[in-house]
A and B are shown apart, each in its own frame.
Chain A
Amino acid sequence: SQELEQSPQSLIVQEGKNLTINCTSSKTLYGLYWYKQKYGEGLIFLMMLQKGGEEKSHEKITAKLDEKKQQSSLHITASQPSHAGIYLCGADFTGGGNKLTFGTGTQLKVEL
């Protein structure tokens, strides 16, 4: 099984709807990173959550890290077509910050 599982695997929402993507780790997290990938492009950094649990927001995206559950959620409010893409969570399991283990990815489509 994967060390980092994301759910759902894919998601189709109507424009304007809210959505949540989850990332669950089977190991202790030192840091959790969220990235977005558009088709045919590289990954764009969204935000990083530190060990201990925290919550961060940027524009309409909010990410939380629950240390007890070793789980992170990414919430998008009032989704727009520009939010479409693949969302990947990346975990730092070593504390060194260099090696990231990525999740299985969530493909998001936003319909008009």
Chain B
Amino acid sequence: DTAVSQTPKYLVTQMGNDKSIKCEQNLGHDTMYWYKQDSKKFLKIMFSYNNKELIINETVPNRFSPKSPDKAHLNLHINSLELGDSAVYFCASSQERGLSYNEQFFGPGTRLTVL
């Protein structure tokens, strides 16, 4: 059974287009995340939602808008795609257990290529 799934796995699109990436977790976790990994493999958090509420919003352009219809889903919508948006986007989820313990479960990633 897939714990954290993302669709699509690959996404190739033209500059200026709008696209969405979907993420679902079946672990019953209450927190979900979006990360961006650039070509140098540097992984940086973008957003985090806890029970459908935004709790972390890093310095990300307004063109990126996360949407959480329920606590099992966190989708990422990107408007007016730019060349610099090309990266691998990872979704993750975790269950808060206190004591700063926060094992995050990652999806397989979505490789976005903007032409």
CA distance A97 to B17 in the complex (A): 35
Closest to A98 in B: B48
Q: Which one of B40, B44, B92, B101 contacts A97 once the chains associate, using CB atoms below 8 Å?
A: B101
Q: Known contacts A42-B4, A102-B43: does B102 contact A97 (CB below 8 Å)?
A: yes
Which A residues are in CB contact (< 8 Å) with B50? 98
* Count of interface residues, chain B, beta-carbon cutoff 8 Å: 29
Give CA–CA (A32, B30) in the complex, Å: 21
Question: A-B pairs with CB below 8 Å: how many?
Answer: 74
Contact of A84 with B by CB under 8 A: no
Q: Which residues of B contact A100 (CB under 8 A)?
A: 45, 102, 104
Min CB–CB distance A95 → chain B (angstroms): 6
Partner-B contacts on A (CB < 8 A): 30-31, 33, 35, 37, 40-45, 48, 50-51, 86, 88, 92, 95-102, 104-105, 107
